[in-house]
Amino acid sequence: MISFREETRLAAQRLIEMAFEEDLQDVGDLTSQATIIGEQQGSVAIVARDDGRLSGGVLIRLVYEALATRYPGDVAVEDLLPDGSALESGTVIARLNGPVSALLTGERTALNFLIHMSGIASLTSQFVQNAGNTGVAILDTRKTLPGYRRLQKYAVLCGGGVNHRMGLYDGMLIKDNHLAACGGSVARAVEQARTFLREEGRGEIPVEVEVDTLDQLRDALTAHPEIVLLDNMRPAELQSAVSIRNELSPETQLEASGGVNLQTIGCIAGSGVDRVSIGGLTHSAVALDIGYDWQTR
């Protein structure tokens, strides 16, 4: 069972309210008002149109709970597949029963979350599969849309990936621009970061530093950082980096990033690195095709 944390739930509820504000304002759904007569009831099956991995199913109830504050009548959500479930074309994700007007008014909002989040989960699952049995962790990044970060990172979990830091506040990654600004060696920057975290009472936060050459890696490893990010290195360089790490600081984890796609992930994962971070999981995932099949009763 993938944990849908309270912080993620609150983020989802804020986005759902924004979605309905954009759609309805203080007028409502004009089309449904004009075409749906009285309290007509209906049933809907939410169905996958393509193979993939489910994420966002947990939001279906939240969408219709939010809509119930604007429209009378409850929508019941039944037979809901758990997030993280494998989908095939034709898989029924959930069944909905309730007022037709509410079902139709909430349709696009619910689907927008489902197709986007399931697209991320599906792409992540492909990367995990293509990494093979290497044991490498597939991580996301901070390349997310404002407001959607918790949902997009939740979707990565649904696909079998691992979350990197949530933001700048809960993790430390010393990048090339930090190194240029502080003007010191990589090792000195790591030591400075450790001192800061210790003084701030945050010594449990791991220090990660980015390098783009093997010489920088050797320098960094003298300070034994928890993680070194290897930026845009070719597979042969990654293999050399693993050998250097094993010799100088075997406890340090190595993370590859840059130039990672579904064709290259197998070779990168096979180099011996521990982690691979991929911005495309959240900023370039294609929406998964999911539809509403409904019938009035």
Give the CA radius of gyration of the chain: 23
Active site residue 153: no
**Percent of the chain topping pLDDT 90:** 91
Q: Which of 23, 212, 231, 289 is catalytic?
A: 231
Q: Which amino acid is at 155?
A: A
What pLDDT sits at residue 294? 84
Does residue 54 have a pLDDT over 60?
Answer: yes
Which of 175, 176, 226, 289 is labelled catalytic? Answer: 175
From 17-26, 45-54, 122-131, 177-186, the region with the lowest mean pLDDT:
177-186
Place of tokens 């064709």: 263
The one catalytic residue in 107, 210, 219, 274 is: 210
Collapsed DSSP state (helix, strand, coil) of residue 60: helix
Q: What value does the mean pLDDT take over residues 172-180?
A: 92
The pLDDT value recorded for residue 296 is: 57
pLDDT at 297 over 80: no
* 39 against 136, higher pLDDT: 136
Is pLDDT above 60 for 60? Answer: yes
Q: Mean pLDDT across the stretch 167-187?
A: 91
Residue 202: CB partners within 8 Å, gap ≥ 6?
A: none
108 counts as catalytic:
yes
Across all residues in the chain, what is the average pLDDT?
A: 95
- Decide if 175 is catalytic: yes
Give the pairing type, strands 227-231 and 253-257.
Answer: parallel
For range 22-30, the mean pLDDT:
95
Q: Residue 147 above 60 pLDDT?
A: yes
Decide if 21 is catalytic.
Answer: no
The Cβ of residue 129 has, within 10 Å, a number of other Cβ atoms equal to 14
Percent share of the chain, pLDDT over 70: 99
Largest separation between any pair of C-alpha atoms in the chain: 75
Q: Among 108, 198, 202, 234, which one carries the catalytic annotation?
A: 108
**Residues with Cβ within 8 Å of residue 227, at least 6 apart in sequence:** 206, 207, 208, 209, 252, 253, 254, 255, 275
Map out the domains of the chain with their CATH numbers.
6-124+285-296 (3.90.1170.20), 129-283 (3.20.20.70)
Strand 227-231 relative to strand 207-211: parallel, antiparallel, unpaired?
A: parallel
Contacts of 194 (CB under 8 A, 6+ apart): 203, 207, 223
Helix axes 6-24, 100-130, angle to 10 degrees: 130
231 is catalytic: yes
Q: ∠ CA(133), CA(138), CA(144), 5° rounding?
A: 160
pLDDT tens figures, 197-217: 999 999 999 999 999 999 999
When pLDDT is averaged across residues 241-249 and rounded to a whole number, the result is 98
Count CA atoms closer than 13 A to 172's CA, side-chain side: 23
